[in-house]
């Protein structure tokens, strides 16, 4: 059968397939020899099409004909993108745009037909349909034909037209390589996403079981106020902030928030306290008609209303809305609001569910997805590097343009140089008479001067001073400072002009060969122009770019320079990724414009800047969704304006952009660190070989000279008698110390009875356990500390006494160790151990605190700060680390990472400082706004104050360098950056009222900052993964050495022959053997998997206000599924026996699932759901755990093994989190325990659930901060003015340091340590894949689905 495409055989007979010799003679052997029955490869029309359209993959360089066709198609695609970008949602396209669309479609259809004619349709290696990108073009062309057909019928869909820009991927080699790599790893990625969706589904089912219809609860009126009191009130209680902060309730008799907690209404800034008047036959009694009555007391009935929070988008009424809520929780954006709603309507303990969802979904599943993409992409980097030639060829046009530009510059430089040389030749004779020799010597000296290090250091010092003058600028600065800064700016401009002139005189045209000099030249010219014209415009911002000159100092910091090289390489490798990301944002923006632009003539228009009305704001909105900052607010608005199905669009944007493309950036960074590690190991090996060779040479060459002549022993002529006495006295003391080197404190000998007694006590096992018990009790008492304790109460007395007891116990422990080991001297002295140094420091701090507390001045604020020293005792549980190897690995990785993390922090600080200087110059004094009722006519501060309104400074601003640094750090953490961007766009001028979108060019400042922050945040991941890998490698090496030593000491017992054991089922009867065969069959696992999937789907059918038949269906199906599970367990008990059954962990899990299912049935029949805090029906969900056993796919097994190993290691990391959180929680209670939100000043972060009133709430609050959900708002609430005497004056600077340090350690270090653990678990799972495959094969023989011996 001939492999031809579009082939019509002549005369109706089959064409003979060409032989090998003919195939070699064909110009394109991989294509069909004949198409359409008569056109061979050498035929003129087909040959011309082949030269134009076909890319021969066997050659490394493409022909010029195929290259220009690709460039023309790229140009047409860009024109199509411009046409799509001009589109205005809700309006018909103009005739010109329709004509352009028709031209684009005709061009690509002609290109497709030409390629089909040239390459053949199918049947050969290089046929048209064999290429996936050609199939994509065919699909897009067919879709556009369908759009034209529907447009002819009057339906304007334009769906496929939006997908037209996807053709660009196949025509840009770098983008095509990235997408190809993603397609290679797609199977593994699909498994991760399936597991992720399954986890979301399971938690959604539980949410429906717990909170279906409950988020509708509102406090309604218990009586008719219009009929009884002639007062018109809202049907249910609405807060003054409306649905932005709804008041949800729980019925009386249940836990949660009740209607009795509805706050009293306020009139004229006064809280109303009078009860509603009681009606009587003589009229109303009680309060007078003008009295302030608390009408909110009438809202006393809690029942379900008609609306859910956030315009109906947040609820658990059915599985669809539950998916939306759970997905929002997993993204960690706005998840705390959903949790607070559940706590209000159900129980305070609902937070456990949401914390578990956040940990499993975000910290584990999402990081597993990131690790899979990053590691798999790194593994495919070699494949991409092999195709580097193709990628370079795809950029031939760019290289051609660059070469032309470089050539033009070279020509200009050469002509200028020739002109200067000619002028020098003409004037050389005159110069000899005028002083040319002197000028030559002077220029030579100048060249040496400008190339000297002293000159560079002087210039650097001037740059430092100039940056310092920019940094000390601030809003409302004194006039004297302004004058000084102007003079200094002029001075530095003169200095840099002199530097430029000296370099030009000394280097001539060589000055422009250095890019740094070119950069300096531009800055100096701009500074001169600004000074001469006295233009105080935004060009002064460019002076801040002088900071980049400090990059020359990196050769003094080699490790930081290495990390900067990794960052630079990552940015270079990510250039094509950034182009692909921009392209994806553009495509999603077009889709959003066609779906949601101008509300799409639906219920209402979206009056918000987070919209899809124009291409600019559509792209900004998509970028915001990618960063996951307030994406839920965009979702609520779009769902309210269009349909709940809009959620699919947001999921597609987040999964494609955030969880796929941005994780490729993580892979690029990890690849950079891996390459650096391999290069460092190779360099270290070469260096060690060279060092050994040099050492041998030195040893052999210098051995005769190793004996050096000693100085004379006696030199009485040079020494005085007094010096001899001092020397003899010192020698006596040294001999005494040397003799007592093994003595403790030089007082107790090793044979001293008291020292031996202390040693026996310290070496006893009960000693360590007793100390650990006191440490635990001490941590409990520290956790009990809170500001609300009465100073004279029994609780305060108990805590003080316990503090004294614990200090005494730890002091005794320290003394026992010092007396046993010695203090400073000795190989095992007390201070030789870092843990002992920490313990001793804490004991000394406790003693200092006790002394301070007993002084009369202990109530002063400054001495009160010393009480914080007691909080450092929470570090004592860290000694447990030595007994847990995995926890020790995590701690060692954390300690080892301090240096590289410090360098990354230094890079981040330099980056933030640079943008802070820019922001200070751009937005100084502009982040103010007028607060009042009617501010439409307000234009400046004067108008605002004259109208008796408030002229307020915004929370985050750029008025000074510290405020700019804090604002940019908030942006760097991806929290609240959208609000800051809007404030920057609205800024008009100093003391001017903001105007919406006054300067949209400021988008460049904020978007560029966010893009660079992605790279720097991924550098933290790379550092932690690299450090954890080194620590894991070192630990494995030590474990292998210990294993080898133990094997050498024990001999080789493994050489003994193990007698073969007969299978346990050999003695079974025929009936029991058949049952055993059934229980070990793959069909049973498959049947149970299908059964569990059906069970989960049936549970997902339940919803709010469901009909009776749905309830009966779920109930009876639960009975059936439970019966089948019980039968399975009974069959396995018969097949394996009770003892063998219980040895298997999977069988134990089956037994637990069956018991929980039976328990849920019993509790449901007893109807105790109203008497217990948890709905017993959620126990049915436990049967999904069986899926972990029956899933046999290799990739799924690897992922499950990775997750299980991660969970085992994450437990140790959680212990680290707990230690760290305990310290910060205790500090938070000490600092912010007395802060309360007053009615007149709304707290957007702190509330009844988020505060620092006691240790438990502080831990909960810190977990919210760790997730990054509105942590900046919480920080700003702690900075609000508190009541006098209840908080310390130092909070204004302590609070930012407290929260910023916590965010750095929690979000950037500890959270990324989880990623490092997942990377290592993934590597271990892949290495164990072969072993696990063997074990699975053996398990089928042994009769179980898991090892039982």
Question: Residue 163 and residue 136: Cα distance in Å, rounded?
Answer: 10
Q: Check pLDDT > 60 for residue 329.
A: yes
Lowest mean pLDDT among 71-75, 687-691, 1208-1212: 687-691
pLDDT at 391: 43
β-strand partners of 748: 744
Tokens of 584: 């994806």
pLDDT at 18: 53
Using CA atoms, how far residue 401 sits from 398, 404, 716, in Å, is: 5, 5, 85
pLDDT in tens, 771-788: 878 877 877 887 787 777
The pair phi, psi for residue 221, each rounded to 5°, is -70, 135
Using CA atoms, how far residue 881 sits from 240, 884, 1215, in Å, is: 51, 5, 10
- State the burial class of residue 97 (Cβ atoms within 10 Å of its Cβ: 0-12, 13-18, 19+): middle
pLDDT at 65: 40
Give the DSSP H or E segment for 1296: helix 1291-1303
Question: Residue 1172 and residue 486: Cα distance in Å, rounded?
Answer: 73
Torsion, CA 1245, CA 1247, CA 1249, CA 1250, rounded to 10 = 40
Residues 935, 926 contacting (CB under 8 angstroms): no
Question: Residue 1318 and residue 1167: Cα distance in Å, rounded?
Answer: 43
DSSP assignment string, 658-718: IIIIHHHHHHHHHHHHHHHHHHHHHHHHHHHHHHHHHHHHHHHHHGGG-SPPPPPS--TTT
Question: Residue 782 and residue 804: Cα distance in Å, rounded?
Answer: 13
Tokens of 452: 């000297």
Using CA atoms, how far residue 95 sits from 100, 101, 858, in Å, is: 9, 10, 84
The pair phi, psi for residue 217, each rounded to 5°, is -65, 130
- How many C-beta atoms lie closer than 10 Å to residue 820's C-beta? 20
In three-state secondary structure terms, 221 is strand
- How much is the mean pLDDT over the chain? 76
DSSP 605: -
Question: Residue 491 and residue 444: Cα distance in Å, rounded?
Answer: 27
Question: Of how many residues is the chain composed?
Answer: 1349
Question: Residue 865 and residue 1228: Cα distance in Å, rounded?
Answer: 13
In three-state secondary structure terms, 1047 is helix
3-state SS track over 1203-1232: HHHHHHHHHHHHHHHHHHHHHHHHHHHHHH
Say if strands 928-931 and 278-280 run parallel, antiparallel, or are unpaired: unpaired
Question: Residue 1296 and residue 1277: Cα distance in Å, rounded?
Answer: 11
pLDDT at 1187: 62
Provide the pLDDT confidence category of residue 1173 given band limits of 50, 70 and 90.
Answer: low
- Which of 478-482, 561-565, 969-973, 1275-1279 has the highest average model confidence (pLDDT)? 969-973
Q: What is the mean pLDDT of residues 296-304?
A: 89
Give the DSSP H or E segment for 278: strand 278-280
Question: Residue 650 and residue 632: Cα distance in Å, rounded?
Answer: 9
pLDDT at 978: 92
- Higher-confidence residue: 144 or 350? 350
Lowest mean pLDDT among 99-108, 994-1003, 1321-1330: 1321-1330
DSSP assignment string, 114-134: HHHHHH-SSSSTT-GGGSHHH
Question: Which residues, including other chains, have CB under 8 Å from residue 459's CB and lie 6 or more apart?
Answer: 499, 549
Using CA atoms, how far residue 763 sits from 678, 741, 766, 876, in Å, is: 45, 22, 9, 19
- Higher-confidence residue: 1334 or 917? 917
Torsion, CA 224, CA 225, CA 230, CA 234, rounded to 10 = -110
Residues 26, 50 contacting (CB under 8 angstroms): no
Q: Check pLDDT > 80 for residue 1073.
A: yes
Tokens of 611: 């919209």
pLDDT in tens, 622-661: 999 999 898 999 999 888 888 899 999 999 999 999 888 8
pLDDT at 895: 77
Residues 1026, 559 contacting (CB under 8 angstroms): no
Dihedral angle sign, alpha carbons of residues 292, 298, 300, 304: negative
pLDDT in tens, 977-1032: 999 999 999 999 888 999 988 888 899 999 999 998 988 888 888 887 877 777 76
DSSP assignment string, 994-1026: --TTS-GGGHHHHHHHHHHHHHHHHHHHHHHHH
Say if strands 950-953 and 283-285 run parallel, antiparallel, or are unpaired: unpaired
Provide the pLDDT confidence category of residue 713 given band limits of 50, 70 and 90.
Answer: very low
Q: What is the mean pLDDT of residues 246-274?
A: 84
With both helix axes pointing from N to C terminus, report the angle between 1255-1267 and 1291-1303 in degrees, rounded to the nearest 10: 60
Residues 838, 875 contacting (CB under 8 angstroms): yes
- How many C-beta atoms lie closer than 10 Å to residue 731's C-beta? 10
pTM for the model: 0.82
Question: Residue 850 and residue 810: Cα distance in Å, rounded?
Answer: 14
β-strand partners of 928: 953
Tokens of 618: 């559509």
Q: What is the mean pLDDT of residues 667-684?
A: 71
Q: Check pLDDT > 70 for residue 831.
A: yes
pLDDT at 181: 80
Provide the pLDDT confidence category of residue 317 given band limits of 50, 70 and 90.
Answer: very high
pLDDT at 289: 44
pLDDT in tens, 194-236: 888 888 888 998 899 889 989 999 999 888 887 787 888 888 8
Tokens of 966: 């804090």
Question: Residue 643 and residue 630: Cα distance in Å, rounded?
Answer: 19
- How many C-beta atoms lie closer than 10 Å to residue 1270's C-beta? 22
- Which of 91-95, 1009-1013, 1132-1136, 1137-1141 has the highest average model confidence (pLDDT)? 1009-1013
- How many C-beta atoms lie closer than 10 Å to residue 391's C-beta? 17
- Higher-confidence residue: 392 or 499? 499
Question: Residue 205 and residue 208: Cα distance in Å, rounded?
Answer: 5
Question: Residue 758 and residue 751: Cα distance in Å, rounded?
Answer: 12
Question: Residue 1180 and residue 718: Cα distance in Å, rounded?
Answer: 96
């Amino acid at each position: 059968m001939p492999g031809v495409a579009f082939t019509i055989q002549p005369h109706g007979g089959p064409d003979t397939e060409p032989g090998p010799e003919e195939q070699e003679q064909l110009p394109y052997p991989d294509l069909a020899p004949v198409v359409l029955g008569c056109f061979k490869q050498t035929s003129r029309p087909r040959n011309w099409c082949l030269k134009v359209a076909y890319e021969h993959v066997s050659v490394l360089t493409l022909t010029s004909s195929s290259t220009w066709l690709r460039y023309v198609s790229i140009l047409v695609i860009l024109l199509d993108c411009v046409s799509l970008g001009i589109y205005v949602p809700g309006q018909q396209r103009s005739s010109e745009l329709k004509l352009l669309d028709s031209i684009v479609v005709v061009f690509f259809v002609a290109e497709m037909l030409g390629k089909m004619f040239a390459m053949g349709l199918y049947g050969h290696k290089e046929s048209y349909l064999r290429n996936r990108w050609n199939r994509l073009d065919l699909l897009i062309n067919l879709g556009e034909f369908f759009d034209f057909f529907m447009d002819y019928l009057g339906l304007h869909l334009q769906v496929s037209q939006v997908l037209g820009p996807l053709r660009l991927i196949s025509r840009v080699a770098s983008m095509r390589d990235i997408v190809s790599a993603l397609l290679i790893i797609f199977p593994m990625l699909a498994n991760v996403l399936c597991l992720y969706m399954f986890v979301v589904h399971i938690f959604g089912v539980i949410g429906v079981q717990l909170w279906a219809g409950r988020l509708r609860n509102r406090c309604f009126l218990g009586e008719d106020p219009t009929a009884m009191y002639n007062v018109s009130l809202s049907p249910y209680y609405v807060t003054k902030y409306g649905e932005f902060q709804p008041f949800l309730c729980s019925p009386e008799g249940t836990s949660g928030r009740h209607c009795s907690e509805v706050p009293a209404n306020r009139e004229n800034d006064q809280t109303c306290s009078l009860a509603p008047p009681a009606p009587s036959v003589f009229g109303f009694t009680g309060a007078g008609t003008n009295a302030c009555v608390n009408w909110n007391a009438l809202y006393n009935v809690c029942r379900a209303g008609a609306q859910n929070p956030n315009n109906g988008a947040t609820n658990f009424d059915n599985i669809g809305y539950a998916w939306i809520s759970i997905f929002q929780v997993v993204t960690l954006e706005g998840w705390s609001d959903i949790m607070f709603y559940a706590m209000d309507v159900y129980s305070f303990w609902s937070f456990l569910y949401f914390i578990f969802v956040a940990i499993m979904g975000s910290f584990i599943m999402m990081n597993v997805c990131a690790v899979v993409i990053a590691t798999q992409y790194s593994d495919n980097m070699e494949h991409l590097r092999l195709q580097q030639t193709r990628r370079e060829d795809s950029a031939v046009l760019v290289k051609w343009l660059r070469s032309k530009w470089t050539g033009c510059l070279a020509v200009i430089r050469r002509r200028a140089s020739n002109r200067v040389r000619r002028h020098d030749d003409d004037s050389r004779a005159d110069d000899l008479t005028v002083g040319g020799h002197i000028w030559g010597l002077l220029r030579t000296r100048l060249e040496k001067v400008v190339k000297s290090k002293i000159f560079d250091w002087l210039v650097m010092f001037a740059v430092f001073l100039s940056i310092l003058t920019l940094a000390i600028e601030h809003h409302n600065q004194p006039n004297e400072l302004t004058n000084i800064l102007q003079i200094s700016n002029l001075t530095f401009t003169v200095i840099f002009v002199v530097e430029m002139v000296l370099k030009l005189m000394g280097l001539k045209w060589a000055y422009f060969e250095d890019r740094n000099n070119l950069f300096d030249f531009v800055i100096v010219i701009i500074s001169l122009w600004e000074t001469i014209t006295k233009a105080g415009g935004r060009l002064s911002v460019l002076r801040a770019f002088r900071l980049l000159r400090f990059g020359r100092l990196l050769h003094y910091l080699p490790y930081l320079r290495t990390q900067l090289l990794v960052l630079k390489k990552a940015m270079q490798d990510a250039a094509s990724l950034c182009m692909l990301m921009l392209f994806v944002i553009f495509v999603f923006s077009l889709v959003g414009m066609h779906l949601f632009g101008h509300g799409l003539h639906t219920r209402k228009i979206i009056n918000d800047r987070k919209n899809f009305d124009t291409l600019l704001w559509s792209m900004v909105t998509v970028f915001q969704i990618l960063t996951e900052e307030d994406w839920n607010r965009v979702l609520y608005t779009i769902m309210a304006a269009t349909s709940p199905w809009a959620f699919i669009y947001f999921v597609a944007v987040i999964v494609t952009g955030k969880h796929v493309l941005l994780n490729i950036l993580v892979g690029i960074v990890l690849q950079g660190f891996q390459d650096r590690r391999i290069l460092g190991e190779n360099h270290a090996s070469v260096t060690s070989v060279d060092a050994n060779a040099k050492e041998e040479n030195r040893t052999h060459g210098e051995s005769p000279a190793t004996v050096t002549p000693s100085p004379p022993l006696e030199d009485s002529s040079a020494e005085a008698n007094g010096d001899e006495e001092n020397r003899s006295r010192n020698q006596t003391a040294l001999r005494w110390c040397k003799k007592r080197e093994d003595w403790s404190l030089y007082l107790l000998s090793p044979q001293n009875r008291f020292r031996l007694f202390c040693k026996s006590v310290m070496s006893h096992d009960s000693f360590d356990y007793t100390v650990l018990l006191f440490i635990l009790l001490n941590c409990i008492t520290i956790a009990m500390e809170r500001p609300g304790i009465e100073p004279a109460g029994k609780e305060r007395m108990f805590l003080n006494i316990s503090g004294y007891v614990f200090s005494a116990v730890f002091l005794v422990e320290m003394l026992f160790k010092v007396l046993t080991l010695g203090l400073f001297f000795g190989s095992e002295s007390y201070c030789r151990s870092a843990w002992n140094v920490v313990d001793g420091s804490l004991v000394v701090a406790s003693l200092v605190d006790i002394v301070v507390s007993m002084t009369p001045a202990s109530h002063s604020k400054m001495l009160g700060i010393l009480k914080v020293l007691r909080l450092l005792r929470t570090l004592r549980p860290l000694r447990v680390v030595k007994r847990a190897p995995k926890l020790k690995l995590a701690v060692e990785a954390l300690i080892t990472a301090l240096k590289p993390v410090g360098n990354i922090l230094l890079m981040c600080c330099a980056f933030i400082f640079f943008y802070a200087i820019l922001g200070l110059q751009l937005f100084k004094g502009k982040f103010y706004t007028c607060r009042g009722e009617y501010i439409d006519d307000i234009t400046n501060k004067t108008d605002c104050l004259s109208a008796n309104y408030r002229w307020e400074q915004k929370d985050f601003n750029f008025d000074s360098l510290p405020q700019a640094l804090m604002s940019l750090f908030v942006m760097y953490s991806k929290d609240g950056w959208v609000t800051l961007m809007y404030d920057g766009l609205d800024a008009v001028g100093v003391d001017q009222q903001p105007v919406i979108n006054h300067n949209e060019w400021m988008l460049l400042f904020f978007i560029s900052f966010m893009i660079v922050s992605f790279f720097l945040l991924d550098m933290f991941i790379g550092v932690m993964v690299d450090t954890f890998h080194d620590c894991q490698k070192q630990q494995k090496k030590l474990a292998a050495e210990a294993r080898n030593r133990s094997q050498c000491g024990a001999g080789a017992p493994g050489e003994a022959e193990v007698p073969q054991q007969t299978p346990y089922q050999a003695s079974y009867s025929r009936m029991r053997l058949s049952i055993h065969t059934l229980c070990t069959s793959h069909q049973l696992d498959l049947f149970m998997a299908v059964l569990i999937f059906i069970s989960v789907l049936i549970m997902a059918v339940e919803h709010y206000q469901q009909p009776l038949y749905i309830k009966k269906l779920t109930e009876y199906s639960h009975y059936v599924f439970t019966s089948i599970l019980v039968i399975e367990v009974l069959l396995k008990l018969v097949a394996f026996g009770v003892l063998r059954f219980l040895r298997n962990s999977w069988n134990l899990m089956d037994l637990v699932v069956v018991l929980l299912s039976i328990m849920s049935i019993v509790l449901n029949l007893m109807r105790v759901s109203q008497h217990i805090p948890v709905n017993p029906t959620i126990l049915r969900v436990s049967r999904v755990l069986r899926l972990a056993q029956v899933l046999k796919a290799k990739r799924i097994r690897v992922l499950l093994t990775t997750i299980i190993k991660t969970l085992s290691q994450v437990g140790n990391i959680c212990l680290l989190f707990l230690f760290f959180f305990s310290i910060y929680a205790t500090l938070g209670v000490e600092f912010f325990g007395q802060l309360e939100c007053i009615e007149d000043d709304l707290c957007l972060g702190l509330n009844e659930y988020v505060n620092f009133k006691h240790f438990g709430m502080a831990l909960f609050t810190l977990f919210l901060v760790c997730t990054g959900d509105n942590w900046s708002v919480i920080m700003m609430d702690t900075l609000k003015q508190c009541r006098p005497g209840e908080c310390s004056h130092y909070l204004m600077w302590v609070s930012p340091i407290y929260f910023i340090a916590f965010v750095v350690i929690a979000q950037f270090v500890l959270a990324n340590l989880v990623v490092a653990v997942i990377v290592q678990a993934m590597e271990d799972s892949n290495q164990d894949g072969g072993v696990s495959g063997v074990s699975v094969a053996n398990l089928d023989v042994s009769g179980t689905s898991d090892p039982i011996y």
